[in-house]
Structure 1
């Protein structure tokens, strides 16, 4: 087979760059390690980090847009794009300076290219492609949800396969992780995400006017107020109770909560935008119903995996990740399920659950180790606002028609 000279040259360049090593005595002893710069701009956080191949965080930087979007009542894509554009160069430079690593010492650059807000993804991708071409470095496109799924492996020696529940402001899914780029999708959200409903309920309750919640995100405000609320005062129906699969739906629950808020506003004789006297109870009931829905779908996923031999018989693991995974009540609800089914629950610390450059860099490290998805710097890459993860097994899960045994999720505040 004949190869064009340009293709041969590109191939040689990739092979050479994939074996770039960093050697420095700065760690107290001489060490050699491949280094990856990770860049994240999928939504409203601009993040960058430099990791070595063992997962040590050499330097990181993060610019959060939370306060801006709190003032506007939600994420406005054009505003997010502008803030990414204004901060990405500084954030990347800070991560490199804090790591003490020069761009020439990097082995690769990993960047989120899917899924996410199109305008946000575009900023990270454009910057990264300029950067890798300037410094002649390999480029590793990253699937945002894959990065969330693998973050726990940076902190714990988790072997494949394992079950993962990813819950955030933009996504929710259940999948079996069989390898760095090998996933079986068991369930996903049919409409809204759990983070989305918590944020929308918080906005409808005007929680930014609450003295304890003025600087908190919607999900954080709901979790805080729920601690002193009575979750039994309002009985919301858990979604999809008669649908025996692992998919999620939160739109109907949001409508239930909205109708209850309107009813209580009428009873108290107040206008929308004024704090209800029962906000703590509504927050508690909403959070409990979200947690119950997540727990039940996860329970079915576990039973499906056990019936089909998709998880190891010894020490099977459920990894909980994504921004909503920092909610302690939801963690406790899932602990009830894992204790019932014999799984071990692992969740990264809260700072690694939300979007950050560290998880993107770690995904790059994992791919670099296995030589998967590594591109030469001059290849054009396109962002994808919507992108499924893995092989879709949701039809098989539904066909199994697994009915859940009764499990009481009783969590003290």
Structure 2
């Protein structure tokens, strides 16, 4: 092969993004002050924020499609795409207006490109690139789950690498070790529905939306609220899934099947009409939530013990970050807190508005990368969206091969009067 052919082949691969080289990154100083604009459209929320290197949110805006999809019985991708297209310019302009900065002061545009709904991701990615071309700015492609994992570092400056991460949302459930800004070790992931998705599906099946007090709530909010009213959360028996599996993977399918069987039996016994709600719906929500929490805590605990045994988490730096939309559930958070207390971990959960999808987390991930001079692209036309994208290096099989046996943390503190979930006392014995 002659030199000209070699050069043409190299150029073609480079333009396709198949050759990663420092030539495709701008050389920025990590010492100077930086301002990043972040755009998020991975699912059904159109978000934008402008954040600086000190973690100050200069401007932010969010358009939620929640009620529209709630009335449609779930997220419909073409509708989500149309709503992103209708709202993205207004959302970006609002965040920009709040910030009081000029586009010449913004150093880069960070945009979620993976993972997520392709039709939604396309809108944010195209608009982010449009802004880059219009204002001659570099483009920063962002991994949605990495952004969730690192947002806590904006909220709590004391968090240092490495730390444990539990991400629970409508589309994802995973436990990992965050070793650095762009280096993760994936210990476990969902093999079917994520917790938020399971909550939404079960809330629809229980017809909670037909009750006025829950009519505008997400499935997770409705189930959590109903569970608080339970007078007998042990009235429905659930089996915690995957107890004999030695990995850290998560599964909601078996829990959903148990809910479905209880519902069918209750509807038949109580002659519930098509749009009716079973009399013991509060108790069923409480039992369901308890089973989900116990399952999450078991898989998390094994991940923690594995990470410590392998030396991935030093004893002096034991921190767990919990984020994602389902992390807003206070019952789940309290159960996870108990695991952290027993194993000696610091528990960190960002404020609710930073747990759910938002532009701030994307802008902050851009800041983290800006400081390290990672993933800042001047030539960005080859960068495409990705529907699926694993988080970091996969160690799931290695976790199973370790064959760890765990002495499960008892979640008995939920019995105590000071617990925010005192109505569920007696519900959690192990």
User: What is the TM-score with the length of structure 2 in the denominator?
Assistant: 0.89
Deviation at 1:19, TM superposition (A): 5.2
Deviation at 1:12, TM superposition (A): 8.7
Deviation at 1:272, TM superposition (A): 3.5
Residue 25 of structure 1 aligns with which residue?
A: none
Structure 2, unpaired ranges of 5+: 15-20, 415-421, 424-430
Residue 178 of structure 1 aligns with which residue?
A: 179
Return closer, same or farther for 1:14/1:318 CA change in 2, 3 Å cut-off: closer
Q: Is the 8 Å Cα contact of residues 133 and 377 (structure 1) preserved in structure 2?
A: no
1:212 alignment partner, SS class: helix
CA distance in 2, matches of 1:289, 1:396: 26
Deviations 1:286-307 (A, max 9, x none): 1111110000000111111111
CA distance in 2, matches of 1:211, 1:13: 55
CA distance in 2, matches of 1:206, 1:67: 16
CA distance in 2, matches of 1:360, 1:103: 18
CA distance in 1, matches of 2:329, 2:256: 18
Residue 342 of structure 1 aligns with which residue?
A: 344
Deviation at 1:243, TM superposition (A): 0.6
Residue 417 of structure 2 aligns with which residue?
A: none
Residue 92 of structure 1 aligns with which residue?
A: 92
Residue 317 of structure 1 aligns with which residue?
A: 319
2:214 alignment partner, SS class: coil
Residue 190 of structure 2 aligns with which residue?
A: 189
CA distance in 1, matches of 2:23, 2:266: 69
Structure 1 consecutive aligned stretches of length 4 or more whose deviation exceeds 6 Å: 1-4, 10-13
Is structure 2 residue 113 aligned with structure 1 residue 152? no
Match of 1:295 among 276, 294, 297: 297
Is structure 2 residue 126 aligned with structure 1 residue 126? yes
User: What is the TM-score with the length of structure 1 in the denominator?
Assistant: 0.93
Residue 61 of structure 1 aligns with which residue?
A: 61
Q: CA RMSD in A?
A: 2.1
1:339 alignment partner, SS class: helix
Residue 201 of structure 1 aligns with which residue?
A: 202
1:395 alignment partner, SS class: helix
Deviation at 1:33, TM superposition (A): 2.6
Q: Is the 8 Å Cα contact of residues 207 and 277 (structure 2) preserved in structure 1?
A: yes
CA distance in 2, matches of 1:272, 1:209: 11
Structure 2 counterparts to residues 194-233 of structure 1, below 5 A = 194-229=195-230, 230-233=232-235
Structure 2 counterparts to residues 356-367 of structure 1, below 5 A = 356-367=358-369
CA distance in 1, matches of 2:22, 2:293: 49
Structure 2 counterparts to residues 245-394 of structure 1, below 5 A = 245-394=247-396
2:151 alignment partner, SS class: helix
Residue 419 of structure 2 aligns with which residue?
A: none
Compare 223-232 and 323-332 and name the one that shifted more. 223-232
Residue 70 of structure 2 aligns with which residue?
A: 70
Count how many residue pairs are aligned between Structure 1 and Structure 2: 399
CA distance in 2, matches of 1:109, 1:172: 27
CA distance in 2, matches of 1:292, 1:252: 14
Return closer, same or farther for 1:331/1:13 CA change in 2, 3 Å cut-off: closer
Deviation at 1:378, TM superposition (A): 4.7
